[in-house]
Structure 1
């Protein structure tokens, strides 16, 4: 039996555009002969993918889902060539199936997700099938999976933005309609206003320092005493935190209260506590 190396599999993938596992099987069947392996894939209809493999994939959909218990969430981005296919319900069904595979397998990255199995087939095989059915080059761009005491998801614009928000909760069922309405509201907030982080404590130190440098330079131009300049810069940084961190932002549905005030109100009504921990926000076509 021929020794099938990783470089051989890579070469066949580049030649045909077929999936890694399919290439490996074809090489084994062809006893390591590249041309025969191509014929094997052509016979199976998989080498047809090669014609589409070089096309740009700038469209597609983002899919975000949670499990029944609302304690695990997955968001994936599946890219294709045209908006027409990206908005197609069949294409979205492929994305949802892949998201379900991610939810179950909890992969660390895209490669791990491609190897995940759902309903007897790998995600890589699902992507290949999508290419054949939809007739466009399709690429799995990225994935994120989160675990928490509570998770909520939101998809904006039919798949243009996908959001997962994680929470710490006490005395509240994360799967209850009342909590999930709140969770969805927060996820919608993330989609709409794109906060820098969940809380001011989570703002990267270099980001806060950079903002402070700008505000100090602005204050210096005022010509006022240094003590006043410092207060001006600190005040502007405080404004930055209130506008850029999720918990401190004005709640879109009621700008008279902050997001944290809204979650506190919901928590009180439900007889428990709600704390926003983090979020994932995927925008279609955005660099990972």
Structure 2
């Protein structure tokens, strides 16, 4: 049996909201496999959902840039060691510059790093900023969305300066309608995405393996309760519809009017915009999501430094 550490139990508890002893039992049953333990808890009805909240474990900034035509947008993440650097004008200028370069050369990190701005490459500019500020910095990732005709909606949450913050969203709305109306609507949709964190525009965009896992968890849960196969099939079908409403943008309740879905809100806006509207894609970056950081006990560190630990 795997050695189940307290930190692993805490991580599972944070993911699921289940009790400590239930989390310990789940990890014991699954040999310490945290994802399998999440499923085990869900099958027992002890966890509401497998929500992988991206734990912010790196500092820095998310930067956005939109082309002059308004039909292409990019989002980049540039990390630093401390939050203090995010308030530094030099670092903010560096992130803005990198976002602009990504608009021109694409979103491959190596290509961006090798691109020249004046006489220096982006990689050189980062190295120079590191030498000036005295703190490590890295370009972690970049992504873009684009439409032939329409507008890019954008939103930055926890904004520290124009186009820079902790969460950045760009969303591509394809339409022959009025660009200014589309841009305003796009901002609302981007704000919704920042808040609701959808995983895909619609069900067809979800990873089939993820959908299969949801179905398996639902089926196993009610199979253990002794439900007959035909009943389980209907429960799973309804459960997946509910899941789609939770994770698919067009099916989520719109944060500005939760009596209608995002898809319904866009349909209603078509008259005002002056043409059909299609969401062609979106990107949502939250600073540091998916990066683990060593957690420390500050009080214990101070006590140890004072010779009391």
- TM-score > 0.5, shorter chain as reference: yes
Higher Cα Rg, which structure: 1
C-alpha distance 256-89 of structure 1, shift in aligned 2 (>3 A) = farther
Give the whole-Å Cα distance in 1 for the aligned partners of 2:156 and 2:91: 15
> What residue is the counterpart of 2:104 in the other structure?
104
Note the alpha carbon deviations across 1:161-181, whole angstroms, 9 max, x for none.
Answer: 112212322x224xx332111
- Superposed CA RMSD in Å reads 1.8
Q: Does 1:191 align with 2:194?
A: yes
Give the whole-Å Cα distance in 1 for the aligned partners of 2:244 and 2:173: 20
8 Å CA contact 2:201–2:250 kept in 1: the answer is yes
8 Å CA contact 1:168–1:274 kept in 2: the answer is yes
Q: Does 1:165 align with 2:171?
A: yes
> What residue is the counterpart of 1:178 in the other structure?
181
Note the alpha carbon deviations across 1:221-278, whole angstroms, 9 max, x for none.
Answer: 4433322221111101110001110010000111111011111122221110111122
SS at match of 1:273: coil
For structure 2, the 5+ residue unaligned runs are 1-56, 160-164, 292-309
8 Å CA contact 1:153–1:165 kept in 2: the answer is yes
Shift of 1:69: 1.2
C-alpha distance 121-266 of structure 1, shift in aligned 2 (>3 A) = farther
Give the whole-Å Cα distance in 2 for the aligned partners of 1:64 and 1:265: 28
8 Å CA contact 2:145–2:281 kept in 1: the answer is no
Alignment of 1:33-48 (within 5 A): none
For structure 1, the 5+ residue unaligned runs are 1-56
8 Å CA contact 1:75–1:99 kept in 2: the answer is yes
Alignment of 1:92-241 (within 5 A): 92-107=92-107, 109-149=108-148, 150-158=151-159, 159-169=165-175, 171-173=176-178, 176-241=179-244
Give the whole-Å Cα distance in 2 for the aligned partners of 1:224 and 1:81: 52
> What residue is the counterpart of 1:278 in the other structure?
281
Give the whole-Å Cα distance in 2 for the aligned partners of 1:111 and 1:280: 20
8 Å CA contact 1:70–1:151 kept in 2: the answer is yes
Shift of 1:97: 1.0
TM-score, normalised to structure 1's length? 0.74
SS at match of 1:281: strand
Give the whole-Å Cα distance in 1 for the aligned partners of 2:121 and 2:154: 25
Q: Does 1:77 align with 2:80?
A: no
TM-score, normalised to structure 2's length? 0.69
8 Å CA contact 2:75–2:168 kept in 1: the answer is yes
Higher alpha-carbon deviation: 115-124 or 241-250: 115-124
Note the alpha carbon deviations across 1:183-207, whole angstroms, 9 max, x for none.
Answer: 1111111111111211111111111
Q: Which has the higher contact order (CA 8 A, sep 6+)?
A: 2
Shift of 1:102: 0.8
